[in-house]
Amino acid sequence: MGLTRLPGLLFGGDYNPEQWPEEVWREDVRLMAEAGVNLVTVAVFSWSRLEPRPGSYEFGWLDRVLDLLHAHGIAVDLATATATPPPWLVRAHPEIQPVDAAGTRLEFGSRQGYCPSSPVFRAATVRLARAMAERYREHPALAMWHISNEYADHTAECFCAESARDFRRWLQGRHRSLDGLNAAWGTSCWGQHYTDWTQVEPPRKAPGPVNPAQLLDWRRFSSDALLACFEAERAVLKEVTPDIPVTTNFMSVLRDLDYWTWAAAEDVVTDDAYPDPADPRAAVKAALGYDLMRSLKRQPWLLLESAPSAVSWRPVNVPKDPGVMRLHSLQALAHGSDGVMFFQWRQARYGPEKFHSAMLPHGGTATRQWRETLALGADVRRLAGVAGTGTRAEVALLLDWDSWWGLEAPESMPSDRLRLHELLLSWYTPLHARGIAVDLAPPGRDLAGYRLVIAPNLYLCTAEHAAALAGFPGRLVVGPFSGVVDAADRVHEGGAPGPLRDLLGVRVEEWRPLPDGVTQEVVTADGTALTARTWTEWLDTSEATEVLARYRGGPLDGRPAVTRRGTATYLGCLPEDPAPLLDGLLTDAGITGVTGPGLPAGVEACRRGPYLFLLNHGAGPATVPLPVETGFTDLLTGRPLPGGPVTVGPRDAVVLEPRPTP
């Protein structure tokens, strides 16, 4: 089965008909059909229009919307509408509004204003989800359920008294006793020993740094508290409409939610991605997010929201140049999305997002935006065969949310410059530039099938993580400041990398973070000079450990910087560009890019099923060397191409299907 029961790729966007008079709806569906839209997300923020008074539902308008869409062949990703509680609920129960770390209760007037732990809020969402499910269970337009919206957006955590109670319950489940909690949190430090559960509170704003172990549990709890909201609605939807897939839209590489756990609770992974057109690294950051989405359930996913052009929430909202919407959309398909969806269908006339771009802009159909929307719809139809196909990656980057949360504890680390997203990007960027497919994986996952596994950082490392990595037969790379603490953020005694010491054959004596702007030279055994920034380590090596690179100059002069034991490499520093090390590893592991060596700068190459996507993000044409023996058809133009080099125009793409040799 595809992501939904619809054939081919999905194309469409968020549709907010409640912001428009009904005569506009008829024009909407006519234009949607013209553009080839086959799926729209409806009712995301409609709670106050669907249940304007407690328990009194007004479904008439939504019935008409769904009927109209269905009559025009458009299916619906139906939101449960629970992302924003209505005014009556907030006024009757002000306690459902979230409280920030400083104790300020946030006011009504925006969106996603709720305390995830509020029983009143959760009960009200479940009632509405049930009413929606019962109302639309038989509706032929219903293709997918969209629970809430972007969990953790605006409100990732709430520090109110109800959240505190819920946190205590969660802690009792994890630590069993107060003694267990005191031990895990190391409360003997700074006089925090608890003698009664009621003394335990969320890590609110305090005079100085809060207990990092408490903060780590808080981040785990906050992800779980939101997940409980999702699961409560999901249970109702599964009971009433067991065959309709359920999703909630993720936000790419997001620290707040442990997406491994979340994805397991979903039928379909969907993502909202808003690469900034003004960011030179936009394409590579987007690609990393898409590969994460594909890896979460190891199946195709769906780009559920993206911007046709400018967003409205950055300080400066740069539009997409001609061709960029198409290129970014094809990029998501190349990385495993089974469709291209936008926020939103028709540009709003009012509200905070009235300047956010849309598939159909304020200017109507006589606009570049609309022409590009139509053309993209046609491209998406040409690529129907891509739906459901997979990606085979030989490289995995490890990502663990516990470790991420621990690493980014404020005011208590050797350096606050180690940011996991950047560390992932430092490896992902050269892999992406070489056209090498990459999966993301949690450290405990079965890694069989990969030839190279890179853990850019594994600050928090348990014995189970270490055992999984020790059992991995391929090439392993572990980045600095790994194996530092256990699951409770307690330092592994004997020195980092703790449970990875034997595997890696190194012991860290000292962390030596570098101030901003300071660099340290590192020289490989063959004389290649690398520049390290941000971080260095004083390493001791065991006898069986080979030194691949040493520091040159400075207090670490001559000491090991990069080591290898067996097939496991350890980096005690952060090279500005790890490419020279990476190339050696790739050669050893026998890994090449999907087009072989020689991918021009700015070109992205991805294989999906039998199809080869070549995406040129650059401003000039680029020629990609391909094997001469295979002929191709470019699915976007229908053009047959002989084997050999293919030239891709600036901000253009080709999607090549190999032609059988006669």
Catalytic positions are: 150, 305
Check residue 11 for interaction with ligand GLA (CB under 6 A): no
Chosen residue from 51, 77, 150, 537 binding ligand GLA by CB under 6 A: 150
Q: What residues from 250 to 309 belong to the interface with ligand GLA (CB under 6 A)?
A: 272, 274, 305, 307
Least distance from ligand GLA to the Cβ atom of residue 248, Å: 10
Residue number with CB closer to ligand GLA (16 or 211): 16
In the DSSP assignment, the letter for residue 17 is G
Q: What angle do CA 558, 560, 561 make, to 5 degrees?
A: 110
Least distance from ligand GLA to the Cβ atom of residue 39, Å: 16
Q: What residues from 586 to 615 belong to the interface with ligand GLA (CB under 6 A)?
A: none
Residue number with CB closer to ligand GLA (149 or 616): 149
Q: State whether residue 408 is helix, strand or coil.
A: coil
Least distance from ligand GLA to the Cβ atom of residue 55, Å: 26
- Amino acid present at 495: G
Chosen residue from 149, 211, 329, 595 binding ligand GLA by CB under 6 A: 149
- Amino acid present at 56: S
Q: State whether residue 424 is helix, strand or coil.
A: helix
Q: Which residue is nearest to ligand GLA (CB)?
A: 272
Which pair of structure tokens corresponds to residue 389?
A: 């196909």
User: Is 125:96 a contact under the CB 8 Å cutoff?
Assistant: no
User: What are the residue ranges of helices labelled H in 145-185?
Assistant: 161-175, 178-185
Q: Which of 216, 182, 210, 175 is nearest to 196 (CA)?
A: 182
Burial class (CB in 10 A: 0-12, 13-18, 19+), 73: middle
**Which neighbouring-strand residues pair with 341?**
12
Torsion of CA 302, 305, 308, 313, to 10 degrees: -150
Residue number with CB closer to ligand GLA (311 or 573): 311
In the DSSP assignment, the letter for residue 497 is T
Q: What residues from 341 to 400 belong to the interface with ligand GLA (CB under 6 A)?
A: 343, 353, 356
Least distance from ligand GLA to the Cβ atom of residue 473, Å: 41
The site for ligand GLA, by CB under 6 A, has a size of 10
Q: Write the Ramachandran bin of 468: left for phi over 0, alpha for psi from -120 to 50, otherwise beta.
A: alpha
How far apart are alpha carbons 76 and 572 in whole angstroms?
51
Least distance from ligand GLA to the Cβ atom of residue 13, Å: 10
Least distance from ligand GLA to the Cβ atom of residue 16, Å: 9
25 to each of 80, 182, 491, how far by Cα in Å?
A: 21, 59, 60
Least distance from ligand GLA to the Cβ atom of residue 339, Å: 16
Q: What residues from 315 to 344 belong to the interface with ligand GLA (CB under 6 A)?
A: 343
User: Is 33:74 a contact under the CB 8 Å cutoff?
Assistant: yes
Chosen residue from 311, 327, 574, 612 binding ligand GLA by CB under 6 A: 311
Examine residue 520 and say whether the peptide bond preceding it is cis (omega within 30 degrees of 0).
no
Q: Which of 385, 305, 287, 297 is nearest to 341 (CA)?
A: 305
Q: Which residues bind ligand GLA (CB under 6 A)?
A: 149-150, 272, 274, 305, 307, 311, 343, 353, 356
